[in-house]
Chain A
Amino acid sequence: MNNFKLNSNAPNGELHTKWEDYKKTLNKLTPEEANKYKVIIIGTGLAGASAAATLAEKGFNIHAFSYHESPRRAHSIAAQGGINAAKNYKQDGDSVMRLFYDTIKGGDFRSREDNVYRLAELSVNIIDQCVAQGVPFAREYGGLLDNRSFGGVQVSRTFYARGQTGQQLLLGAYSALSRQTNAGKVTFYPRHDMLDIVTVDGKAKGIVTRNLLNGKIESHSADVVILATGGYSNVYYLSTNAMASNVTANWRAHRKGALFANPSFTQIHPTCIPVKNDFQSKLTLMSESLRNDGRVWVPKKKNDTRKAVDIPEEERDYYLERIYPAFGNLVPRDVASRRAKEVCDNGQGVGNTGVAVYLDFKKAIKEKGEQFIKEKYGNLFDMYQNITDENPYKTPMKIYPAVHYTMGGLWVDYNLMTTIPGLFSIGESNFSDHGANRLGASALMQGLADGYFVAPHTIMDYLATENPDFSNKTDQKEFVAAVEETEKDIEDIMSIKGDLVVDEVHRELGKVVWDKVGMARDKKGLNHAIDSIPKIKEKFWKNVSIPGSDKDMNQELEKALRLKDFIELAELMAHDALDRNESCGAHFREEYQTPENEAERNDKDFKYVAAWGYNKNGKPSLFKEELKYKNVKLKTRSYK
């Protein structure tokens, strides 16, 4: 693998015709031909469900797996704010080119031009598709689709369904999937955890699963395997992700040879409900859309214990509006998060813990009326009140950044194929489009672009070069070996019989990753993480306790199997962050900042994707994909 060169496999040609031209050159299969192939998809969130439905429509036989009981439970369901598309309905100068540029710039020039342009181009088709499925997007009085604006951009291009956009989009994709289940083209395996990938002659040909109801370990074979398994924010223990979101599928693929790209590029979302106590199990996001009408501030005075209402206007620091007059409260997430940390570190934080800032709607309520605010954000306000027992119509919300999204993921080429032939990765699970920072409302867009409009074409092209083989190959030696390996892992974990609860170890891991590989990183801290994570690993393997049997539903075992992979990933994240001696987007290295405390990029030395290879005993090996910018000029990001 040492001489291996990473190639994005993007076709040549003009940026804006590239994808359409390329699509024409791809191999096609008729539905009759496609019917001879079997496709495995792990994950039925937005990316997985949309890909499964579309490939089934094209004639392929889909076997879809999820640890959820139903596709509708996937983490995608929780996305609140919206989905971007360059429709330019508001006639405010939006265009595919502009969405492309905003995304590249938002990602701090660490993503691939070709992929991002394609994403921007496909964004418009997504909205058409979703509306046709019956997704009830918000509309204006005239009956046309409504838009709002999101962080990091100056146009209104975000489509939304109240604060439940992810829910409505996922229900749309789920309905398309259900239609194919009904047609007999999709077999859904609920409550199945995928625990390993099987490769035969270097190609992905199957998976190993554990049935969560009875603990049965099985393998399944297919002609191609697609991972749509979401992000790994839960490596931090506390994040806004659903409780079960995890890295296992990606990590097992990584251990089998798939490179893992930019693992340390993790997004911290600026507006979440702050941690309240030690039992906290997860964090709740307050959608970024709130920054359209909410103003962020802290008291000018340090350690000010007065109530928000008692602090007069002139003693408040609306620091985002002050530092960034052009974008104000709508700066990108990484910037807003870092500034919140800075004011809190400086003693200006609010609330009992001093680790929070205000998000204030007083002005908007006064100018636009409470009813308007209720219409737009009612469910978010209710959720806030329910969790905190405070009324945000009356007192400002308290918010603080929390881990939210992972830009890093499996390295994929332009076709969304990993470095293992026949293994594709789509949605949040790949690293593809967001560079070092994702803009709001762009994850849903990417998941659906991958699933509905990209992967179905590139996977068909791949399959056209493979001989279909419908036979069950699970008695081949590669499958048998993978099953045995998984069984051994489970046996090992069950036999530890220590005295630590899985969550205790996870919390300890999370604290290290948050402190050292979180919002701000430095060399000393990263080295500390690299030293301490192996100790946590040892603790896990010596001391964790799993009651009950592995032959039943066993939720502690499920967590343990996920945690063991998170621990290994955490170490890789620290290596990645240490290796990147620059600041870019969400990756902020204390050593590399401008005098105004902004990220200081180093394009000369770090204009690349860091793709890491797994070595069983030893340090990970780094492969670089040099990023080329032909259509945009590299600039220092400025939101002032």
Chain B
Amino acid sequence: MNINLKIWRQSSDKKDGKLHDYRLENVDPNISFLEMLDILNNKLVKEKKDPVAFDHDCREGICGSCGFMINGRPHGPQKATTVCQLHMRSFKDEDDILLEPFRAKSFGVIKDLSVDRKSFDRIISSSGFVSVDTGEAGEANYIPIEKNNADEAFLSAACIGCGACVAACKNSSAMLFTSAKVSHLALLPQGEKEQADRVNKMVATMDAEGFGACTNTGACSAECPKEISQTNIARLNREFVKAQLGSFIKKK
């Protein structure tokens, strides 16, 4: 198949970027999308031109490194699929394919399709953890956890931190990402104790990082490659209200 690519090129966050056209011919539909970009980059290097920068590592849909907009959608057209797991068979001969970086105030462009998502780390380090030192843990099976809760916690914990939810949201909200961590820990007895403090701090950090407000459009969940559910957001909101109430009562 032949394809016409339009790719956002920007040498750094300090410079302006613009779209460039590239054409690739005889692309094997069975290669992955990133392998297609490898081919383009090899060609550019051969022509002594700067290859397109993009983040990727595992190419198995789990590390969360990859991610950019394909024809206006984070990670492209296929549901529940990261860019690295997308294959060229999802496109047609002579398709126009537009590639742009995730755009959000809190994700600066580093170069071309690569963006800075360190704000996610800061949300986690504000309190996305259980406070237990190495060696302090008791026997693992002393606290049985109902299978349903454990399974649900797992589903929330499956977030790969890719940032697609933010890119999909018109307000650039990080609510899905943050609520996935809040829910994961709220659903487990180990995480329950610190829950109020956790939710307060994580929400405050999220706001301080400049992410927008959640208006419940559901775009995040629809585009999330790991299908992180919107119920996480509802749970965060409940936990947040509980926490606010708790500190209100304490103050009184």
Contact = CB atoms under 8 A, between A and B. Distances in A.
Interface of A: 50, 53-54, 57, 68-75, 77-78, 87, 89, 125, 127-134, 136-145, 161-162, 164, 167-168, 171, 174-176, 178-179, 181-182, 188, 190, 213, 242-244, 276-277, 279-282, 284, 383, 386-387, 389, 452-453, 456, 499, 501, 503-504, 545, 547-548, 552-553, 555-556
| 10 closest cross-chain pairs (CB), A and B | A143-B144, A132-B137, A175-B129, A178-B125, A136-B154, A128-B137, A131-B140, A54-B134, A242-B57, A136-B153
Contacts of B34: 281
A308 B153 CA distance: 39
Interface in B77-124: 81, 85, 87, 89, 110-111, 114, 116-118, 120-121, 124
Nearest to B124: A178
B222 interface: no
B252 interface: no
Given A279-B28, A501-B46, A552-B111, A182 B126 contact: yes
B150 A553 contact: no
B154 A168 contact: yes
A386 B128 contact: no
Contacts of A386: 81, 85, 87
Interface of B: 11-12, 28, 30-32, 34-35, 38-39, 42, 44-46, 48-51, 53, 55-65, 81, 85, 87, 89, 110-111, 114, 116-118, 120-121, 124-141, 143-147, 150-151, 153-154, 157-158, 160-161, 184-185, 188, 190-191
B147 A139 contact: yes
Given A171-B157, A552-B111, 17 more contacts: A70-B161, A71-B121, A129-B135, A129-B137, A134-B129, A136-B150, A164-B62, A175-B128, A176-B129, A243-B58, A279-B35, A282-B59, A284-B59, A501-B45, A503-B42, A547-B49, A553-B110
B140 A174 contact: no
A383 B154 contact: no
A78 B141 contact: no
B119 to A, nearest CB: 11
Given A129-B137, A499-B46, A70 B147 contact: no
B127 to A, nearest CB: 7
Contacts of A70: 117-118, 120-121, 161
A493 B108 CA distance: 30
A277 B30 contact: yes
Given A78-B63, A128-B138, A386-B85, A134 B185 contact: yes
B28 A144 contact: no
B31 A277 contact: yes
B77 to A, nearest CB: 13
A556 B45 CA distance: 9
Contacts of B143: 131
A131 B145 CA distance: 11
Contacts of B111: 552-553
Nearest to B136: A132
A280 B34 CA distance: 10
Contacts of B144: 139, 142-144
A53 B140 contact: no
26 contacts: A53-B134, A57-B134, A72-B161, A73-B65, A77-B63, A77-B64, A128-B139, A132-B130, A134-B129, A134-B153, A134-B188, A137-B150, A144-B144, A164-B62, A167-B62, A175-B129, A178-B128, A181-B121, A282-B59, A387-B85, A453-B135, A501-B42, A547-B44, A547-B50, A548-B50, A552-B12
Nearest to B126: A182
A499 B47 CA distance: 9
A145 B140 contact: yes
Contacts of B121: 70-72, 178, 181, 188, 190
B48 A545 contact: yes
B203 to A, nearest CB: 16
- Which one of A175, A243, A387 has the highest number of Cβ atoms from chain B below 10 Å of its Cβ? A175
- Which one of A50, A127, A129 has the highest number of Cβ atoms from chain B below 10 Å of its Cβ? A129
Given A70-B118, A176-B129, A136 B146 contact: no
Contacts of B138: 128, 132
Given A277-B30, A501-B42, A553-B110, A161 B48 contact: no
Nearest to B114: A553
Nearest to B123: A178
- Which one of A71, A244, A386, A503 has the highest number of Cβ atoms from chain B below 10 Å of its Cβ? A386
A244 B89 CA distance: 26
A134 B42 contact: no
Contact of A77 (B11, B62, B116, B140): B62
A511 to B, nearest CB: 17
A73 B64 contact: yes
Contacts of B59: 242-243, 281-282, 284
Contacts of B57: 68, 73, 75, 242-244
A179 B133 CA distance: 10
B252 to A, nearest CB: 29
- Which one of A69, A139, A162, A452 has the highest number of Cβ atoms from chain B below 10 Å of its Cβ? A69
Contacts of A547: 44-45, 48-51
- Which one of B87, B114, B137 has the highest number of Cβ atoms from chain A below 10 Å of its Cβ? B137
A136 B158 CA distance: 10
A39 to B, nearest CB: 15
B60 A383 contact: yes
A143 B146 contact: yes
B117 to A, nearest CB: 6
A5 B161 CA distance: 48
A255 B57 CA distance: 27
A128 B55 CA distance: 35
A176 B137 CA distance: 13
A53 B129 CA distance: 12
Given A140-B147, A387-B85, A69 B116 contact: yes
B30 A243 contact: no
Contact of B125 (A179, A453, A456): A179
A243 B55 contact: no
Contacts of B12: 552-553
Contact of A242 (B39, B63, B185): B63
